[in-house]
Chains A and B, each alone.
Chain A
Amino acid sequence: MSDLSEDIRQDHIRNFCIIAHIDHGKSTLADRIIEKTGLLTKREMQDQVLDNMDLERERGITIKAQTVRIIYNAEDGEEYVLNLIDTPGHVDFNYEVSRALAACDGAVLIVDASQGIEAQTLGNYYLAMEHDLEVIPVINKIDLPSAEPERVKQEIEDVIGLDCTDVPLISAKNGINIDQVLEAIVHRIPAPSGDRNKPLQCLIFDSLYDSYKGVIVFVRVFEGTVKKGTKIRFMATGAEEEVVEVGYFGPGQFIPCGELRAGMVGYITASIKNVRDTRVGDTVTDAERPCDKPLPGYRKVTPMVYCGLYPADGAKYPDLRDALEKLQLNDASLQYEPETSAALGFGFRCGFLGLLHLDVVQERLEREYGLDLVTTAPGVIYKVIKTDGSVMMLTNPSNMPDPSEIAEMQEPIVSAEIMVTKDYVGQIMTLCQERRGVYNGMEYIETNRALLKYDLPLNEIIYDFFDALKSRSRGYASFDYEFKDYEPSKLVKLDILVNREQVDALSFIVWAGSAEERGRKMCQKLKEEIPRQLFEIPIQAAIGSRIIARETVKALRKDVLAKCYGGDISRKKKLLEKQKEGKKRMRQIGNVEIPQKAFMSVLKLDDE
């Protein structure tokens, strides 16, 4: 086996990541670095090499971390191995980010030369500091006419306290000063420590399922050596397997090598069938010569948001189950369990890290597996403390116990940081207040910009908070949050009755104070979504037996095409086919047909 890794000196390895606020150019810089190091020709370079899922490319967000090993010939004449560990770029995936950071020794922090520090710049920086990473600030997009590198330098020094004397001023897009970034990585980020002879200790920072190799575990080796044949143990799950292959990450491919030693980043395969055995953050050790204790920081990822996923065509239930199974192979944070709904039939209650994660899964199911889905309104997990003292984690509104059995309800609260220019502080404070936010203080980053701190119920931000934030600040606000705790709250279950029949899939849990308004808006929205049918259809919102809002869908008055085109019936047929197709996409509730998208309409209640 021709194997570069055999000759690699530990002090010539640099393990680093790139962190940035969204859109500050993380993926573009990664592309340029890979290009510079010459492992890929320009022709081979796809834009944004690291984001290889279609969806990621379309959305411009890194969802699944990708990692690549590159060789850099530095100005000092030495050859260095750089392991670039890409990190997910969305707050939904914060835990994955933290594990990716834990695998690094340093981080390149990109700041946009026009926009300066944003909420996620700070969030990511603090995360990097928690992991004792050497942080190299870089100012990107200096080619833009609106760039103000001097101001941004000052801001980084003042707010973050990083020395910006030699800060690389770059344009990742145009490949300007990328060498300076590479030199800084080599000279400022420390080489990994660790002893190849000690008991094995590897951190799992990602994994993916491959139909040939089984689960491929991405690891950073902190101590010891792992190679083919090593019997490894996953310390959190206790699973043990024999290593089939180890290797490193070529651009877009896995390259086997002889062994992975302390300080190296690479992958392990061991005919593991399920990613659930290989949890991100877990420690891999040698089963025959285990290390004393696992690496710190592991926790089981728990979904924050739940919703029901149903096949539009009930017969496709087994297909949906298979598709979820396959997706879960690659996405340990996706959870699901079967449920049934009177309105929607057989489906699954699924747990996600956040709304983006939900969107991504839903789109992948539809796109990659050709499924047509009905999604119920996403909700957070409520804690119900019953009068008998037992505690229930409520993921489905339909399972809410009778109010007489409930002693207290609690909802998840997040700590949020919002960065905004001073002109919009008032607007954003109003928004947070509307969303039941509790003010936790404000700091001025510089004279023009403020960092607002609020505790907000997760329930209030999962739907459209980000959009509202953007629209009320003309795009100038940025936002970051993390889970804080559960707090008592006055919550009620809002039921929707269509033609006097309760539609379980439309029930949701809401803060008592906004129940009436939500109920009213929900009825209005459903009135728009439900097409006129043969009879009048009342739509009602109720809390328990109390009706709090009502709308009426008038009966269908006219639906007739009388014209005839000289015996050409094709038009008539097309019209009827279209109509039939429309009916198929409806759900029969009692004798009312409800279009699938109505079940998602609760999401859009705040559209003006």
Chain B
Amino acid sequence: MTSKEQRGIYIHIPFCAKKCVYCDFLSAPQPDAVIQSYFDALVREIRLTACEEEGYGPVSTVFFGGGTPGLVPAACITRVLAELRACFDIRKDAEITLETNPGLMDEEKLSAWRAAGINRLSMGAQSFDDRELKLLGRIHTAGQIREGFALARTAGFTNINIDLMEALPGQDLCSLQKNIEALLALSPEHVSVYSLILEDGTYLAEHLPEFPPLPDEDTERAMYWHSVRFLLAHGYRQYEISNFAKPGKACLHNASYWERREYLGLGLGASSLRRETRCTNTSDMSEYLSFTALPDIRRNVTHLTRQDAQAEFFYLGLRKKEGVSLEEFRDAFGSDARVIYGKVLEEHEKDGTLKERDGRIFLTERGLDVSNYILCDFLP
């Protein structure tokens, strides 16, 4: 399939068993009754959206993100997928991902997910060190990651991602190395490595002195590049700043964000890109549960100007290791990126943060380290 035809759907499941200390995602523990009415509202949104977006598709990727989609009863997931299939043209070979906590994976759930059509799992492992996991407020142990992973394989999942965090409080290069080795022992198809970011308002940010010290900038960068090198040496390809995959296993849904393909975001606080318009749903749960028409929940509807879209093309696209294609830019906007961004490109090629090869502009390793410093120059 060509990239133009790919369309995605993102489903947000804003529930988790317990908030982690670093987490600032839209997610919280909720009583079962709320979860049940949430899925009613979600189905309502799917139906209304399908009417509004008639002809949207074929859909190549579906992504259940959160929160912890693995937490809710498998029947809820089945119901959503059935609804999606009824309302949209979901391709038979669509990539359908579900995020889950390793501690919530049992045989029954896994086979239900399989049966519903989930064909890719994303496990939020974060660490293989029980002490670190406890510190982060995770609900699972390293043992549970291994058990869950094995159960998933048994259930027939052949495309599994594991999330790992680095730059954890008290972490050093050696403890990170142990985590990577433990991860590689499972040989997942896909690995995401994120650095812990201290976000305002999180428990970690507000109780920082109670935690072991966070690694400094230099150590954090050393950790990042160490894990990149180690994963490359073990047969993974880096296709994005934080994402690694065995050949052919890159996450199509994720990539669609960086390639500015259209996606519909459904559920609390979910974001969409459609017809060069971005919008985000309300993040107020009671508002979401009681909505009757789509305008009730759509927020921040922003139509992208040509300049906005060109900026996005670069600042999203440059997250990909292979960078952006000058030809695609010309196809999309009818003008030459070298004309529009001549000065910026030249300046950063000169300072060694950007490079052109085979008609693609990409961030160098140095550029990756300081990417925000470069990317902001593309904004109008």
Contacts and interface: CB of A to CB of B under 8 A. Distances in A.
A559 B372 contact: yes
Contacts of B25: 565
Nearest to B12: A566
Given A560-B241, A566-B270, A567-B273, A583 B376 contact: yes
Contact of A534 (B197, B300, B373): B373
Interface stretch (B50-58, B101-109, B217-225): B217-225
Interface of A: 533-535, 556-570, 572-573, 575-577, 579-580, 583, 591
Contact of B315 (A556, A559, A567, A576): A576
A559 B65 contact: no
A566 B265 contact: yes
Contact of B221 (A533, A558, A573, A591): A558
Interface stretch (B37-45, B128-136, B141-149, B363-371): B363-371
A563 B273 CA distance: 18
Contact of B242 (A535, A562, A575, A583): A562
Given A566-B63, A567-B10, A567-B257, A576 B375 contact: yes
B335 interface: no
Contact of A579 (B241, B269, B270, B376): B376
Contact of A558 (B217, B271, B273): B217
Contacts of A570: 271, 278, 280, 300
Given A534-B370, A556-B370, A557-B217, A564 B257 contact: yes
A561 B370 CA distance: 9
A558 B270 contact: no
Contact of A562 (B194, B265, B352): B194
Given A564-B254, A566-B12, A567-B257, A559 B242 contact: no
Contacts of B257: 564, 567, 569
Contacts of B371: 559-560
A324 B378 CA distance: 35
A563 B197 contact: yes
14 contacts: A535-B351, A557-B218, A558-B217, A558-B369, A560-B195, A561-B197, A562-B241, A566-B12, A566-B270, A567-B272, A568-B270, A569-B278, A570-B300, A576-B315
B100 interface: no
Scoring B10, B257, B351, B370 by chain A CB atoms within 10 A of each residue's CB, the highest score goes to B370
B316 interface: yes
Contacts of B271: 565-570
Given A534-B351, A562-B241, A579 B373 contact: yes
Interface in B208-240: 217-218, 220-221
Majority DSSP secondary structure for residues of B touching A:
mixed
Given A557-B221, A562-B194, A580 B280 contact: no
A572 B280 CA distance: 14
Q: Which 5 residue pairs of A and B lie closest in terms of their CB atoms, listed nearest first?
A: A568-B271, A579-B376, A580-B376, A562-B242, A576-B376
B288 interface: no
Interface of B: 10, 12, 25, 63, 65, 194-195, 197, 217-218, 220-221, 241-242, 254, 257, 263, 265, 269-273, 278, 280, 300, 312, 315-316, 351-353, 366, 368-373, 375-377, 379
A281 B379 CA distance: 56
A558 B379 CA distance: 20
A583 B377 contact: yes
B298 to A, nearest CB: 14
A9 to B, nearest CB: 72
Given A568-B265, A576-B372, 6 more contacts: A557-B218, A560-B368, A564-B257, A568-B270, A568-B280, A580-B377
A575 B377 CA distance: 12
Contacts of B10: 566-567
Contacts of A559: 369-373
Contacts of B351: 534-535, 591
Contacts of B242: 562-564
A277 B157 CA distance: 89
Contacts of B265: 566-568
A583 B197 CA distance: 23
A28 B260 CA distance: 65
A311 B10 CA distance: 47
A533 B241 CA distance: 21
Contacts of A566: 10, 12, 63, 65, 265, 270-271
Contacts of A535: 351
A562 B195 contact: yes
A141 B263 CA distance: 71
A186 B247 CA distance: 99
Scoring A534, A560, A579 by chain B CB atoms within 10 A of each residue's CB, the highest score goes to A560
